[in-house]
Amino acid sequence: MRQPPPLPFESPAGRGWWARHWRWAMPLGIVAGVVLLGGGVAWSLLRWSDAAHASAPLREAMRRANCSVELVAAFGEPLHADRMPIGNMQTQLNGRHDVGLIVGLEGPHGAGTLFVQGTRVDGAWDYPVMYVLGEEEHTFDLSALDDAEAAQECALAQCRAVGDCVIDSLTS
């Protein structure tokens, strides 16, 4: 007796790799793709956060916040900015830089939101908006009429040098 001929859809050499392993390879490929996509998004957000924290407007705003007698009296020392600011940073072809950031600010006794907007033209920064909105809608203005002069001053350090700081008696 003769054996029947092989079925036409089966190859005598066997099936290919994908046909044998698709049940575990497809989910693994999808999971790997999602992990790579999530890692790329997380990396981008961390780079954005680092760039925002390293920007001159946010550094200057934090310096002014730490030098503000009223703000330190309300929030306490040290002041810390949240890890993830919200906003934008743009560099135009003519060399102008525009930065607008909103970041949470907190100290041991209170918290608020720091708003800063800066524009750099010809290497000089101008900060038309720089304030902290504290709890109970109290506003602490950090802007100055002359930004170049304000960068050299620290009201809290001057207050402490003279010895008549109200803050030191509150925190002691």
C-beta neighbour count of 155 within 10 angstroms: 15
Structural domains in the chain (count)? 2
What pLDDT sits at residue 13?
Answer: 59
Q: Which domain holds residue 64?
A: 55-171
Query: What are the tokens at 44?
Result: 């981008």
Place of tokens 């560099």: 91
Give the Cα separation of 98 and 55 in Å (integer): 11
Top pLDDT among 70 and 160 is at: 70
Question: Do 98 and 161 fall within a single domain?
Answer: yes
What pLDDT sits at residue 166?
Answer: 65
Question: Do 62 and 37 fall within a single domain?
Answer: no
**Mean pLDDT of the 142-165 span:** 74
Question: Do 79 and 23 fall within a single domain?
Answer: no
Give the percent of the chain with pLDDT over 90.
55
Question: Do 131 and 90 fall within a single domain?
Answer: yes
CA triplet 127, 132, 133: central angle to 5 degrees?
A: 135
> Which DSSP string do the residues of 19-76 spell out, in sequence order?
HHHHHHHHHHHHHHHHHHHHHHHHHHHHHHHHHHHHSHHHHHHHHHHHH-HHHHHHH-
How many angstroms from the chain centroid is the CA of residue 155? 27
Mean pLDDT estimate for the chain: 86
Domain boundary among 54, 69, 93: 54
What pLDDT sits at residue 145?
Answer: 59
Sequence letter at residue 85: P
Question: Do 95 and 139 fall within a single domain?
Answer: yes
Tens of pLDDT, residue by residue over 36-85, are 999 999 999 999 999 999 999 999 999 999 988 889 999 998 999 998 99
